[in-house]
Structure 1
Amino acid sequence: MAMMVRQRATRTRRTTTTALLAAALAASLAAGCTTSDGPRDDGRGREQSPAPNESGNRQAQGSVLAVKIDNVRAARPHMGLNEADIVYVEQVEAGLSRLMAVYAQKLPKTIGPVRSARESDLELLGQFDRPTLAFSGAQSKLMPLIDKAPLEAEPPGKASDAYFRSPYRRSPHNLYLRPGRLMPSAPGTKALTTGFRFGAAPGGGKAETSRTVRYPAARHTFTWSASQNRWLVAMDGTAATTTDGKQVTASTVVVQYVKVRQSAFHDFLGNYTPYTETVGSGKASVLRNGRAYDDVRWKRPKAADGTTFTTRDGKPMNFQRGQVWVVLAKAP
């Protein structure tokens, strides 16, 4: 009996401790804990931020905010993801995935965890008018390309007051962004120059309840919820939620089949970074309103152009209004 009492007391202490840690993490993220203001991505000096630029314009009115977000298991649950207008999913080293969230209509208080940029991000962001890119750093050889790209780069080395590290997560999965310190307000829908069209669903398609997109070491599943009129997002077999416990959902899911090739860059383990080509044309599947449209074509002639999606008869493929997820998958 005494042993049972001790076991119950131990379980009670563990439950209480877990709840207190979760509450402390949420409080620290909301308040903007400032245990460190610089990136500590891999601890090996492999990722660098550009030197501070006192003359840099951090107002960026009229441009979207794009944030590179960590997406390994240790980085979840995310913060600020549900407020994004577009979420891009891209393959990175070792077959894992990373997210790029794009904000135009609303800026949440906190976004993250924030991670490093990749070369193909520059091509992807070319469809926006000088976007602001928030990221934790990049390989030293990539930084000159970022500096020359038509965007406003805002890593911690340039905007240290906009970032903080939470003591309740391990580095490098604990860097968060306070977007209000980069931009005075959300730029609005006019900044979304992607070429996406929203409106009534076209005819055709087929009923679809679930779709899974697989990378070598990651998978994303989208399950239709008629009651919510949304696709419920799951990552690596687990329902995706934010730190406030809300389910991550999407109104429209685009599986865009693209060419994925090896880039000239690799991480400290020797894993080469995949380069995802988003200029060109190809096939796509669009999921909306519980139906799948698998015979869609995408086209983006130049890096400065948006991406158009058309049905088999050449008409625009309308998306359902709300958050759009674009999963950049390797073409078969």
Structure 2
Amino acid sequence: MRIAWAGGGRGRAAAGIGAVMLGGALTACSGSDGAGSAAPPSAAGGAEKPSTPASHPFTGGRAGLDNPVLAVKIENTRAALPQTGVRSADIVYVEQVEGGETRLMAVYSSRLPARVGPVRSARISDLHILSQLGRPAFAFSGVQSKMKKYIKQAPLYDISQDNGGRAYFRAGPKPIPYNLYANPKTLLKEAPKAEGPRDIGFRFGPAPEGGKPTSTFTARWPSTRMSFTWSAKQKRWLSAHNGRTNTAAEGGVLGGQTVVIQYAETTRSEFHDFLGNYTPLIKTTGTGRAVVLRDGKAYDTTWSRPSEDKGTTFTTADGKPMTFAQGQVWVVLLNNGKPRIP
């Protein structure tokens, strides 16, 4: 079954005139090779701009309540390490890509780093995740040609390397494509109407009762792994990449005050890389299991996201909201246990 798209984008922002919002369900398509795909959400008109929140909905803090939202796609393989600017992100999404590796999508609002990177290409799952943010600015190096129509129709401001002009530059000793960086402040000048933060379902506050004392959690994908170890001294989870400390280019170790391990159905999309490896499609609507790490404990929770334009909530076993620790949040997306994509 193929999805018929109406409307289209104009300029860097998708105008979305006549576009159809998917209503939260990732409708599967099929081709002659049996690969499934799902069209991302289209821009929908008439949405009212949210009012300024009392605290930042991404971090629970007070900084940057009116700042625009910027998402940046960042490489996450050994060749790209150490990464730049990830420490300043409000939210860091970890997504599986081709070949069982991962890539990051860092979301900024409360503060901006001087530079960020290495900036890499976007994936179809990014568009499904970003739709809950309203109309953010999205920075990436590019996409394959058949995905461009989805970028144009998505509710975001396209400030990719094609549109970002002087915000992008190459620097350092790493070879292409691992040496592309961007200046976030300059990026946002290319998207002056990018929306500010809105409620995406996160709740911040004192830790709930219960939880299992946990010192380390390891997330595994077919070709890589990341671990998060609790530091009582720093009051955050410090990350490692394939057993090596995940040091930031600015110094220190990457990691957040809260780490969400979100299990989601992961299937093949219609896209693949030049080697023929299929791009995973991560279904982030619906419900599923999650483990939330905070304050040296692990909490079994349930995640729920009713539709593409809604946020993701997390609840404990007794049905109460799972509260996050104030600060940076990592959302690590893992296969929900069903057979892995080939």
| Percent identity of equivalent pairs | 52
Contact 1:69 1:112 in 2 (8 A): yes
CA contact (8 A) 1:87 1:325 kept: yes
Which residues of structure 2 form unaligned runs of 5+?
A: 1-9, 14-65, 338-342
Residue matched to 2:20: none
Q: CA deviation at 1:249?
A: 2.1
- 1:128-152 per-residue CA deviation (whole Å, 9 max, x = no partner) reads 1101110000110001111100100
SS at match of 2:128: helix
Q: Tell me, in whole angstroms, the C-alpha distance in 1 between the residues paired with 2:149 and 2:194.
A: 30
CA distance in 2, matches of 1:193, 1:255: 20
Rounded to whole Å, the distance in 2 between the matches of 1:246 and 1:187 is: 34
Of the structure 1 ranges 188-197 and 100-109, higher mean CA displacement relative to structure 2 is found in 188-197
**Deviation of residue 246 (structure 1)?**
1.6
* Alignment TM-score, normalising by the size of structure 1: 0.80
Alignment match of 1:321 (pick from 320, 326, 329): 326
1:311 is the counterpart of 2:329: no
Of Structure 1 and Structure 2, the greater helix share is in: 1
1:159 paired with 2:164, answer: yes
Question: 1:200 Cα shift?
Answer: 0.6
1:263 equivalenced with 2:297 (yes/no)? no
- Superposed, 1:196-211 pairs within 5 Å as 196-211=202-217
SS of alignment partner, residue 331 of structure 2: strand
Instruction: Determine the structure 2 residue equivalent to 1:245.
Output: 251
* Residue pair 1:258, 1:277 contacting (<8 A) in 2 also: yes
1:14-52, CA deviations, whole angstroms, 9 ceiling, x for partnerless residues? xxxxxxxxxxxxxxxxxxxxxxxxxxxxxxxxxxxxxxx
The alignment partner of 1:213 has SS state of: strand
C-alpha change, 1:56 and 1:126, in structure 2 (3 Å) is closer
Equivalent residue runs for 1:119-138 within 5 Å: 119-138=124-143
What residue number does 1:116 align with?
121
In structure 2, distance between residues paired with 1:239 and 1:227: 17
Give the Cα separation in 2 of the matches to 1:306 and 1:106.
21
Distance 1:90 1:327 in 2: 7
Residue type of the alignment partner of 2:122: A
Conserved? CA contact 1:257–1:328, under 8 Å:
yes
The amino acid across from 1:293 in the alignment is: Y
Q: Which residue of 1 aligns with 2:53?
A: none
Q: In 2 relative to 1, CA 111–252 (structure 1 residues): closer, same or farther, beyond 3 Å?
A: same
- Alignment check: 8 A CA contact 1:110 1:176 kept: yes
Provide the rounded CA distance (Å) in 2 between the counterparts of 1:56 and 1:186: 11
SS in 1 for 2:146: coil
After superposition, residues 51-62 of structure 1 pair within 5 angstroms as 56=12
Task: Flag the 1:257–1:305 CA change in 2: closer, same or farther, 3 A.
Answer: same
| Unaligned 5+ runs, structure 1 | 1-52
Q: Which has the larger radius of gyration?
A: 1
